[in-house]
A and B are shown apart, each in its own frame.
Chain A
């Protein structure tokens, strides 16, 4: 708040009403509804619901399938985060190094940001096509009979590749802007002190990039957990079957296809708690940074 603010009794309220009402109707109400219905068992045909206490939660905790999905989400998130961060960091360091063509490289490496996840997933389907996909052929060359949508491991690999491809640009943009904000004097001092480029990177540049990297870590975890929905949905071609899926996909699947409102709501609440923990963690470690969703 500004020191020299206006004092007007009704105007600020009027200004806040649109935002607040949208938030109450489309955020607090749904969130409260999810928490409430997670304690009920919904009749699949819509004839009322019965209070079952924490049964939906104990069901989740005991479900072998849920555990499998949870583990896949963990692996998927870890691999996607690690790969997209490291590839983007490498590219950003190189793009920061070169003088010639720096702008062209920047454009070429960031435009994929604008592609929607399901569109990326669709391109993935074409590339991993059973008979003609260039990547299927490539893997076939090494004796790997790649079967998208049939083999669990292969489908997971394809999903990871597409998800990494889609996420590199965001990380690249942030790493590059982080690198460019390192003062010239610091770089020059490092150059005088140490001739080895690699050591210089680990001792000087990397620590200075740490806040960016940490911030991106959180962004990437949220991306892999939530924003990859479109990639996963398109790449399994609408047939979940025995395909790998993330926790968010399972919420969608149980709630909208399986009509298990209580179970799906309980899963939503579990995810809410997870995101809450993640965000608190983020705010505790670096203040003043918010993420984009």
Chain B
């Protein structure tokens, strides 16, 4: 009898122990993964605190030097570092214009289109739907040359609208809102109509407030997408006053491979400025971002 009790008590221990080892193993893998993701940025940030000669001699560093402030200051406010006529602040401003302009433009245009497709009896609704739908098939990279040609002919090269509008041509946003509107309960429209609300009033007073979280989620995704555009801005902006930070990376790289002692510190500082706003937005609005990214695909 005593034996039996003993074994019953003793039994859970090995399994709990194994469970614990498993957990430690899980954590080790996750820590390794997190470090893999984090280390490049840590290296870059710390190395940005040195003067170019030291970096050129020593390579990437893991302890802070004393040039951090001055490197960032030069990268942001000094003209002619990597470009000839603009400083980092101008590029930062342009990046925000592209990111916000693209996100806002896309949200407005696609919400309107999705509203028309979902809520109206329209004879060519299916046709319009397919016209918009087809654009999902071809990313901008595939039709880059003709798009460039079209912008040239329209005289929109080196303008903000030339930078932003062609990127809006893909229909991802429209699909997203179409899915969302279709899930909105039917009774709402009926109730609104009984109360005498017209389509415009219904849209502005009911549908838009209802879509708030979805709008926020899609804004974050689109902002990051717009901010990170590279190929299109590289082609369409040859005027330095329109360079975005991500576009400016190309300039950094080109200067980098030419110079004898490249401005490593400034280059890294500018690269960090280029990644910081979208990274912060993704981190702070994480739950919206994840929701927008994963739910829009259903």
Contacts and interface: CB of A to CB of B under 8 A. Distances in A.
Tell me whether A and B are bound partners: yes
Contact of B142 (A23, A110, A248, A256): A248
Given A113-B224, A123-B44, A132-B58, A248 B141 contact: yes
Interface stretch (A53-61, A183-191, A260-268): A260-268
Interface string B38-71: 1011011001000000010011100000000000
B208 interface: no
Given A1-B117, A31-B143, A25 B150 contact: yes
A107 B253 contact: no
Contacts of B168: 22, 26
Interface string B71-103: 000000000000000000000000000000000
B87 to A, nearest CB: 19
Contacts of A154: none
A110 B38 CA distance: 10
Nearest to B276: A114
Interface in A86-108: 87, 90-91, 94-95, 97-98, 100-101, 105-108
B249 interface: yes
Given A91-B30, A119-B274, A15 B135 contact: no
Given A118-B249, A290-B297, A239 B30 contact: no
A275 B147 contact: no
Q: Looking at chain B's contact residues, is the secondary structure mostly helix, strand, loop, or mixed?
A: helix
Contact of B120 (A7, A30, A90, A265): A7
A146 to B, nearest CB: 14
Interface string A126-160: 11010111100000000000000000000000000
B113 A16 contact: yes
A220 B80 CA distance: 38
B298 A108 contact: no
A227 B256 CA distance: 23
Given A26-B166, A291-B136, A234 B22 contact: no
Contact of B138 (A19, A114, A275): A275
A3 B186 contact: yes
B215 interface: no
Contacts of A8: 120, 199
A122 B253 contact: yes
Given A4-B186, A165-B37, A116 B59 contact: no
A109 interface: yes
Contacts of B144: 248, 251-252, 255, 268
A127 B120 contact: no
B12 interface: no
Contacts of A173: 290, 293-294
Interface of B: 22-23, 26-27, 29-30, 33-34, 36-38, 40-41, 43-44, 47, 55, 58-60, 109-110, 112-113, 115-122, 125, 128, 131-132, 134-150, 154, 165-166, 168-172, 174-175, 182, 186, 189-190, 193, 198-200, 202, 221, 224-225, 227-231, 234-235, 246, 249-250, 252-254, 256-257, 264, 267-268, 271, 274-275, 278-279, 281-283, 286, 290, 293-294, 296-298
